[in-house]
Structure formats: C-alpha cells, structure tokens
Amino acid sequence: MTQVHESEQQGPVRVLLCSGPNLNLLGTREPDIYGRETLADLEDMARAAAQDLNLELVTMQTNAEVDIVDAIQKARGAFEAIIINPGAFTHYAWGLHDALRAYEGIKIELHISNPAARETWRHTSVVSSAVTATIAGLGPVGYPLAVAAAANLIADERAVG
C-alpha cells in the first residue's frame, strides 16, 4: 500500500469518513445483510488503516441529509478525500450529489452490501456520478480498502500535480 506523507507546510493528510442514515444501528440492524460489526468497529478498522498509511481520519455519522451536506461543504480545502457510505441517501439525495460535485478532492462511495444485487429500488445511485470511485459488497473489509484506495489516489494526484 502507498503511504502518504504529510507536507511540512500543509500538515497531516486528512480524510473524512461520512456515514449516513441508520448506520448507527450496524451490528443489530439486519445482521444477515450488514454483519455484526458496529459502526464503531468499522470506523476502528478504517482508522487503523489510516494510521498505517500516515493519514488522519475524521469520522461522522448522521441521519439528517442537511448535516452530511454541511460536512461535505466544510471539507472543502480541509480534507484531501471523502469516503462516504450514504446509506439510503444513495438513492434519492440530490443535495448530497450536488455537495459532492462541488468538493474538489477525491470522493469514494462505500457500501457494505452490494446495492445492485438487492431490491430494484436500490440499483440507482444518485451519488455514483459525483464520486471518483465506488466500493460495494465487500462487507467490513470495504472500510480499510476505501482508506487504502484514498491513500493511493492522493499519492497519484500528488505525483502528477
């Protein structure tokens, strides 16, 4: 994995992990689909991966679309990447789509399950066209993989730019 080194002038490389509605119920909500790990467990896995890659990971969870839109707007200029599990917002939250489009950094859409393999209404993502990449269907391992992907994309961007 590519390690990202902080710039003396810029400080640590920061990544924001946003979790949408009902992800606070992980571990008890439909464990046959989402597993038994809690959101705290998944955040810890992501945080450990970030530490190994010399990234600072900041996490947030909300059940309110306005809060996640505000977090993305505040991330502009403060974070080099956003990893977002939008939960149900995936399928209808055009405000979230627009906020992600306005964010200039790397954006990774993350899902524990594979929405394309589930109910038909889950097949549409209004977020996908606004992100750099999507990781779906890998269960809990998707969290550290998303962090590793963000690190690699940041390193690639720095090498070019």
pLDDT tens digits, 54-96: 999 999 999 999 999 999 999 999 999 999 999 998 878 899 9
Q: Is the dihedral of CA 148, 80, 131, 157 positive or negative?
A: negative
**Active-site residue numbers?**
34, 111
pLDDT confidence of residue 73? 98
- The model's pTM: 0.90
Domain 13-39+55-65+86-118+126-160 grouped into CATH 3.40.50.2000: no
Mean pLDDT of the chain: 90
| Residues 104, 131, 159, 12, CA torsion sign | positive
Whole-angstrom distance, CA of residue 99 vs CA of residue 94: 9
pLDDT band at 23, cuts 50/70/90?
very high
pLDDT confidence of residue 9: 44
